[in-house]
Amino acid sequence: MDLNQFKSQAENLSKENKQFYNKLKLRKPKNLDEAFHEAHEEAFSEIDCLTCANCCKTTSPIFYQNDIERAAHALRLKPGQFIDKYLKLDEDNDYVLQ
């Protein structure tokens, strides 16, 4: 999937997307959850995450203390070294990737 083309299509369909999101707000949570999972499966049947990696490039996960300790151990680093080398504090004071 070409991400630039996808972004362009999303911008061109901005009005339709807003209408879709407004319809989602009206759905019951149970039905919304099911619809989300169906859409997720459909989207990722066409997208190879390992080839794309856009989520990983643009949105860092939050690292909690147990995550930091586990990752540091795997890399044979002290937690403080792992933080200094790989993490930063974001605007919410959470550790995220640099």
pTM > 0.85: yes or no: no
Tell me which residue has tokens 């039905």: 31
| Confidence at residue 56, expressed as pLDDT on a 0 to 100 scale | 77
| Confidence at residue 4, expressed as pLDDT on a 0 to 100 scale | 84
Q: Where are the alpha helices (DSSP H) in 27-91?
A: 29-44, 49-52, 54-58, 65-74, 79-86
Q: Could you report the average pLDDT of every consecutive run of 10 residues in the chain (98 residues)?
A: 83 91 82 85 86 82 95 97 97 93
Domain chopping of the chain, boundaries: 3-57, 65-97
Distance CA 52, CA 94 (A): 26
Beta bridge pairs of residue 63: 95
| Confidence at residue 81, expressed as pLDDT on a 0 to 100 scale | 98
Q: Cα-Cα-Cα-Cα dihedral of 48, 54, 57, 62, to 10°?
A: -90
